């Protein structure tokens, strides 16, 4: 899989974007003229900058309002195209996206458009470049990939191909399986985007609400299965306009993008298709339960936390053999209170104050879950276990805290008995286990968190709901992965009660 | 006119909201239980806080999922209502909003609902309070104010009335003139909100995109004319859920709200209705032209600015008699370069660096335009003129710069001749006048700016467009008031080229 991302997806200046995209592991970018129009860089310098980051320019876009124009518009459109071809040569890219026209003078007519593209193909060939035609779902005459394909088919030119975009197909509820009739070598490029299921004007929806595959409600997996069935093996490119991403951190957005593509292709390969590439990652698994939650605190602040636990019916049930960690139990709910003054837990305390530093999840196969998570770009968390302590795989969550991955083979009873010399849990106030975890983040980061959980585990999202917080609106998203239920609360950090937990 | 605003419209904690709402000159608030649920204040204390700000609680809201329920839901709903009535007594308010049910068990039936409201009216009467029924446009059975009115009419109870909301009526494209058939004394409350014309799921649109009357595209004026025709004279209350307002400054949002209500009632009274109150403000007038633009700078930075003017074809045409201000002219375009080291212009320089400090607009009647602007809460700008200098009315714009208001009676020729000993303009590079002004602001503040211009002048907005800035998206809104064209560019301050001008 060759991965690509449109520069518009990520915020910042061009150098910032390129650094973030390269760091996230993409192979290439779609470039927009706006990326460098106002900069001091020449197109040749921009091309070098891109290649210096180990990236290639997979696509130059967009070229608008080209096809089916009467004169004198038609001649002008060809002159405009020729200038872009020259620019592309300087940039060092060979493919231009032509999106279906919205020009008020455009006449339509499949054969007229095909003739225009045949002539454009001749011009492109003279410049050593290619053009791809994409149906915008709000296009004036062409707004369905089947019509765009008919234009390309009739243009019948080696330098003219089709460009598909999951949003444009799925937003119009066009059956993606219609793609299976298109030859893979006639598809020059594939753009991918998801979107939440909010009924809305298509153009507005596209410009502000697109998100990464898996972050929304469109069947991008079904779309991509159809694309894969054609034999297409070109770049898979994210072209995502989203107000949250524009406010987000470039590196986080770029990494989410790469994660979403890995998860998407994993889901595609796991589908019923024969003859596709082998699956690289272990399958997503549900979580059995939350085995324990650890708080980072200090000897000075621990008594207040422990008094709270006591008042909620927890009882002190043991202490760690080698670390200043106490175990509090009630039913199957285990809470660790860590007052250590070294290591990760302590640095978590120093950053956030008394807070949850670690959550331990029981999964069917901890090593497989760890392999899947790291394959999906989760950061492994590895502190060397002290002598006599068990080594258990762990990853860092989006907010930086640790997710420990346990399985029944890990001799859990051993953990509690060996590490904690724990006494059995008592009934307490009637709490029987940890049934959900509430996590609060800036609204801008909410999609990152939901993608993290849904990509790594076998998880389902509930519809997002708006919650009236005393000081403003909070978007709340529940995610369930077997016995793990997470409630993500996206808060406007400045104004809400929930925001105080960020 | 008694003005009110829902606390949800403004961001911040309850004390912040109350201070902002009181400072903006409102008479009352709609209160939500969420406002104080998580606070340490008792309802009685909240009521006192509100009254200490000189405000009254015009409405307690919302009470959901009340009508047309089967048992045991019905009995529970009445018990719930009674607790709210007790709470209202503690708060010191006598009106509760009941919005049309979305309960899955609700059976519908106009007479069943009327009976429920008659019984609720009896309960309300025992507590000395009243209830108003509002049709949510996404309600399960009642989503049209005409049906809500039929329920209220049949309930036929002194303590039960109708609540109207411009959004719920206009979002469903219900003709607001149907309101004229409703007796004004049966309308207990009127909520006002506008919204941009984006085709979208009604609930999502309402929760995130509502804005102040005049900021959107709905015919709130037509709605309010119909309400006024009924004889209704209760509060006009803004209930506006908007993501920009949530991110905005509470005082600015509250002041915009009051401004929008003044402008709305001005437009309503200016309509063809007989027998309404007299019009308080001079009519909105178009701008003839931009007469001059003044830059604040310093002797050190002025040469660079003047070199730029020179290269654009401007010529130095005079100097102020008493201030260090030079006049640059080309055609009808006049630019002042002010290097004064005292007064408003200099403090503008100290805050922003070299920047536009003043824009002078030619209007039909400067005193009338000034009276209208200050009546619409614009801040008057008054520096004492130096001896021999003319006094010309001026106001502060949203961003703090000065808008000078000139008219032909102001002896303009005199200004240039007396104050500047100016020579006539030359042709220069062919610039004939100032045809538009570009202003850039944080996206959150964009509606404030457009409301300012459209409320004060006789202005029209063009549809908002998204502009691809090199580093992100900019929303651009053109406004035309006669010879004044303003392009507002709402930028994500952090990320865009346009943002660098903020």
Q: pLDDT averaged over chain A?
A: 91
**For residue A121, what are its two tokens?**
């193909």
Q: Give me the mean pLDDT over the A118-130 stretch.
A: 98
Helix (H, G, I), strand (E, B) or coil at A158: coil
The answer to whether the CB of A344 falls within 8 A of the CB of A383 is yes
The band of A335, judged by pLDDT with boundaries at 50, 70 and 90, is: very high
Facing B246 at nearest CB: one of A36, A246, A492: A492
Selected for mutation to probe chain B from A463, A495, A499 (highest B CB count within 10 Å) is: A495
| Nearest chain A CA: its distance from B36 CA (Å) | 7
Gyration radius from chain A CA atoms: 26
Comparing A168-182, A221-235, A239-253, which segment has the lowest mean pLDDT? A239-253
Contact A12 B200 (CB under 8 A): no
Contacts of B243 in chain A (CB under 8 A): 473
User: Which residues, given as ranges, of chain B have pLDDT below 50?
Assistant: none
**For residue A345, what are its two tokens?**
């837990």
The band of A430, judged by pLDDT with boundaries at 50, 70 and 90, is: confident
Contacts of B246 in chain A (CB under 8 A): 472-473, 492, 495
| Nearest chain B CA: its distance from A190 CA (Å) | 22
Phi, psi of B35 (to 5 degrees): -60, -30
Helix (H, G, I), strand (E, B) or coil at B419: helix
Facing A11 at nearest CB: one of B34, B198, B495: B495
Q: What is the pLDDT of residues A66-99, one digit of tens each?
A: 999 999 999 999 999 999 999 999 999 999 999 9
Cα–Cα dist A423/A318, whole Å: 6
| Nearest chain B CA: its distance from A327 CA (Å) | 31
- Token pair 């009236």 is found at A468
Contact B201 A201 (CB under 8 A): no
Comparing A129-133, A425-429, B152-156, B384-388, which segment has the lowest mean pLDDT? B384-388
Contacts of A200 in chain B (CB under 8 A): 198-201, 204
pLDDT in the model for residue B13? 85
Cα–Cα dist B220/B232, whole Å: 16
Contacts of B492 in chain A (CB under 8 A): 11, 246-247
pLDDT in the model for residue B361? 94
Contact B198 A207 (CB under 8 A): no
pLDDT in the model for residue A125? 98
Contact B207 A11 (CB under 8 A): no
Characterize the bridge pairing of strands B394-396 and B56-63: unpaired
pLDDT in the model for residue A496? 57
Contact A11 B494 (CB under 8 A): yes
pLDDT in the model for residue B387? 64
| Nearest chain A CA: its distance from B247 CA (Å) | 8
Angle between helices B446-456 and B250-269 (to 10 degrees): 30
The answer to whether the CB of B53 falls within 8 A of the CB of B22 is yes
Per-domain residue ranges of chain A: 3-193+203-269, 289-420, 437-501
Cα–Cα dist A96/A116, whole Å: 15
Interface residues on A facing B, Cβ-Cβ cutoff 8 A = 8, 11-14, 32, 34-39, 198-201, 204, 207, 241, 243, 246-247, 466, 468-473, 492, 494-495, 497
pLDDT in the model for residue B497? 57
pLDDT in the model for residue B421? 84
Selected for mutation to probe chain B from A6, A446, A467, A471 (highest B CB count within 10 Å) is: A471
CATH class (in words) of the domain with range A3-193+203-269? alpha beta
The answer to whether the CB of A127 falls within 8 A of the CB of A86 is yes
Alpha helices (runs of H) in A164-219, residue ranges in sequence order: 166-171, 202-209
Contacts of B39 in chain A (CB under 8 A): 470
Contacts of A204 in chain B (CB under 8 A): 198-200
Contacts of A243 in chain B (CB under 8 A): 473
Nearest CA to A189 among A136, A133, A142?
Answer: A133
- Token pair 């437009």 is found at B267
Contact B247 A492 (CB under 8 A): yes
**Cβ neighbours of A288 (radius 10 Å):** 17
H/E stretch holding B170? helix B166-171
Nearest CA to A448 among A375, A396, A497, A381?
Answer: A396
Nearest CA to A482 among A299, A303, A350, A290?
Answer: A290
| Nearest chain A CA: its distance from B474 CA (Å) | 11
DSSP annotation of A321: S
Contact B12 A471 (CB under 8 A): yes
DSSP string spanning B320-385? -SSSSEEEEEETTEEEEEE--SSHHHHHHHHHHSSEEEEEEEE-S-HHHHHHHHHHTTPPB--PPP
DSSP string spanning B179-241? GGGS-GGGEEEEEE-B-----B-HHHHHHHH-B-TTTSSS-HHHHHHHHHHTT--S-EEE---
Contacts of B43 in chain A (CB under 8 A): none
Nearest CA to B446 among B283, B301, B311, B245?
Answer: B245
Q: Give me the mean pLDDT over the A331-350 stretch.
A: 90
**For residue B46, what are its two tokens?**
């909240």
Cis peptide before B70 (omega within 30 of 0): no
Interface residues on B facing A, Cβ-Cβ cutoff 8 A = 8, 11-14, 32, 34-39, 198-201, 204, 207, 241, 243, 246-247, 466, 468-473, 492, 494-495, 497
Contact A207 B473 (CB under 8 A): yes
- Largest Cα–Cα separation, chain A: 87
Alpha helices (runs of H) in A92-188, residue ranges in sequence order: 110-126, 145-155, 166-171
Contact A12 B495 (CB under 8 A): yes
Q: Does domain A437-501 have CATH number 3.30.720?
A: yes
Contact B201 A199 (CB under 8 A): yes
Helix/strand/coil (H, E, C) string of A484-502? Answer: EEEEEEEECCCCCCHHHHC
A456-463 long-range contacts (CB < 8 A, ≥24 apart) are A456/A284, A456/A369, A456/A372, A456/A373, A456/A376, A456/A378, A457/A284, A457/A285, A457/A286, A457/A287, A457/A363, A457/A369, A457/A481, A457/A482, A457/A484, A458/A283, A458/A284, A458/A285, A458/A286, A458/A482, A459/A284, A459/A286, A459/A484
Cα–Cα dist A45/B232, whole Å: 68
Cα–Cα dist B478/B486, whole Å: 6
Q: What is the pLDDT of residues B209-258, one digit of tens each?
A: 999 999 999 999 999 999 999 999 999 999 998 888 877 788 999 999 99
On the question of pLDDT at A129 being above 90, the answer is: yes
| Nearest chain B CA: its distance from A87 CA (Å) | 17
Of the CA atoms within 13 Å of residue A25, those in its CB half-sphere come to: 13
Of the CA atoms within 13 Å of residue A112, those in its CB half-sphere come to: 14
For B311-334, give one letter per residue: b (16+ CB within 10 A) or e. eebbeebbbbeebbbbbbbbbebb
Characterize the bridge pairing of strands A95-99 and A325-330: unpaired
Q: What is the pLDDT of residues A308-330, one digit of tens each?
A: 999 999 999 999 988 899 999 99
CB pairs under 8 A between A and B: 81
Contacts of B248 in chain A (CB under 8 A): none
Superfamily per CATH, domain B289-420: 2,3-Dihydroxybiphenyl 1,2-Dioxygenase, domain 1 (3.10.180.10)
Cis peptide before A247 (omega within 30 of 0): no
Checking ipTM against 0.85, whether it exceeds it is no
Characterize the bridge pairing of strands A130-134 and A160-165: parallel
Contacts of A14 in chain B (CB under 8 A): 470
**Cβ neighbours of A479 (radius 10 Å):** 22
For A220-237, give one letter per residue: b (16+ CB within 10 A) or e. bbbbbbbbbbbebebbbb
| Nearest chain B CA: its distance from A494 CA (Å) | 8
Contact A497 B38 (CB under 8 A): yes
Contacts of A473 in chain B (CB under 8 A): 207, 241, 243, 246
Nearest CA to A349 among A420, A300, A416, A291?
Answer: A300
Contact A246 B495 (CB under 8 A): yes
Helix (H, G, I), strand (E, B) or coil at A163: strand
pLDDT in the model for residue B145? 98
Cα–Cα dist B456/B436, whole Å: 18
| Nearest chain A CA: its distance from B69 CA (Å) | 24
Contacts of A472 in chain B (CB under 8 A): 11, 246
Contacts of A494 in chain B (CB under 8 A): 11, 247
CATH class (in words) of the domain with range B3-269? alpha beta
Selected for mutation to probe chain B from A102, A196, A207, A468 (highest B CB count within 10 Å) is: A468
Facing B492 at nearest CB: one of A13, A39, A247: A247
| Residue of chain A with shortest Cα separation from B207 | A466
Cα–Cα dist A286/A480, whole Å: 9
Query: Who contacts B386 (Cβ-Cβ below 8 Å, separation ≥6)?
Result: B322, B323
DSSP string spanning A322-385? SSSEEEEEETTEEEEEE--SSHHHHHHHHHHSSEEEEEEEE-S-HHHHHHHHHHTTPPB--PPP
Facing B470 at nearest CB: one of A39, A198, A243: A39
The band of A248, judged by pLDDT with boundaries at 50, 70 and 90, is: confident
On the question of pLDDT at A458 being above 70, the answer is: yes
Selected for mutation to probe chain B from A196, A209, A246 (highest B CB count within 10 Å) is: A246
On the question of pLDDT at A117 being above 60, the answer is: yes
Contacts of B468 in chain A (CB under 8 A): 8, 32, 34
Cα–Cα dist A311/A426, whole Å: 14
DSSP annotation of A289: E
On the question of pLDDT at A412 being above 80, the answer is: no
DSSP annotation of A173: T
Phi, psi of B460 (to 5 degrees): -125, 140
Nearest CA to A263 among A394, A405, A451?
Answer: A451
Facing A473 at nearest CB: one of B37, B246, B471: B246
């Amino acid at each position: 899989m060759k991965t690509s991302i449109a520069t518009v997806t990520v915020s910042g200046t061009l150098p910032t974007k390129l650094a973030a995209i390269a760091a996230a592991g993409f192979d290439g970018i779609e470039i927009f003229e706006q990326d460098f129009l106002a900069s001091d860089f020449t197109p040749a310098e921009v091309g070098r900058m891109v290649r210096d980051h180990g990236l290639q320019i997979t696509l130059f876009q967009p070229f608008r309002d080209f096809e089916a124009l009467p004169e004198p518009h038609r001649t002008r459109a060809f002159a405009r195209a020729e200038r872009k071809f020259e620019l592309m040569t300087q940039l060092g890219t060979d493919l231009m996206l032509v999106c279906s026209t919205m020009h008020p003078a455009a006449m339509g007519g499949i054969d007229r458009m095909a003739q225009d593209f045949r002539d454009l193909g001749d011009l492109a060939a003279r410049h050593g470049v290619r053009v791809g035609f994409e149906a915008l779902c709000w296009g004036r005459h062409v707004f369905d990939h089947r019509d765009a394909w008919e234009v390309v088919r009739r243009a019948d030119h080696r330098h003219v191909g089709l460009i598909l975009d999951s949003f444009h197909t799925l937003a119009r509820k066009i059956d993606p399986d219609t793609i299976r009739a298109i030859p893979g070598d006639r598809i020059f490029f594939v753009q991918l985007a998801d979107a939440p299921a909010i009924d809305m004007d298509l153009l507005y929806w596209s410009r502000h609400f697109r998100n990464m595959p898996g972050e929304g409600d469109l069947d991008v997996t079904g779309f991509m299965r159809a694309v894969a069935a054609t034999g297409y093996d070109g770049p898979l490119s994210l072209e995502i306009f989203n107000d949250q991403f524009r406010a987000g951190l470039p590196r986080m957005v770029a990494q989410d993008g790469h994660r979403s593509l890995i998860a998407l292709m994993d889901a595609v390969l796991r589908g019923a298709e024969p003859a596709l590439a082998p699956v690289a990652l272990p399958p997503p698994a549900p979580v059995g339960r939350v085995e324990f939650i650890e708080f980072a605190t200090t000897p000075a602040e621990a008594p207040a936390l422990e008094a709270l636990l006591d008042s909620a019916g927890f009882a002190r049930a043991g202490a760690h053999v080698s670390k200043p960690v106490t175990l509090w139990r009630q039913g199957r709910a285990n809470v660790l209170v860590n007052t250590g003054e070294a290591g990760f837990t302590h640095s978590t305390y120093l950053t956030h104050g008394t807070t949850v530093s670690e959550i331990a999840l029981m999964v069917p196969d901890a090593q497989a879950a760890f392999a899947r998570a790291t394959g999906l770009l989760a950061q492994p968390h590895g502190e060397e276990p002290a002598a006599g302590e068990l080594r258990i795989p762990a990853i860092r969550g989006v907010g930086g805290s640790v997710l420990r991955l346990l399985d029944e083979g890990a001799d859990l009873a051993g953990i509690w008995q060996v590490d904690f010399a724990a006494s059995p849990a008592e009934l307490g106030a009637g709490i029987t286990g940890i049934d959900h975890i509430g996590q609060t983040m800036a609204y801008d980061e909410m999609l990152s968190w939901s993608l993290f959980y849904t990509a790594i585990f076998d998880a389902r999202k509930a519809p997002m709901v708006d919650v009236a917080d005393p000081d403003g609106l909070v978007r709340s998203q529940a995610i369930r992965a077997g016995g793990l239920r997470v409630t993500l609360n996206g808060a406007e950090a400045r104004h809400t009660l929930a925001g105080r937990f960020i």
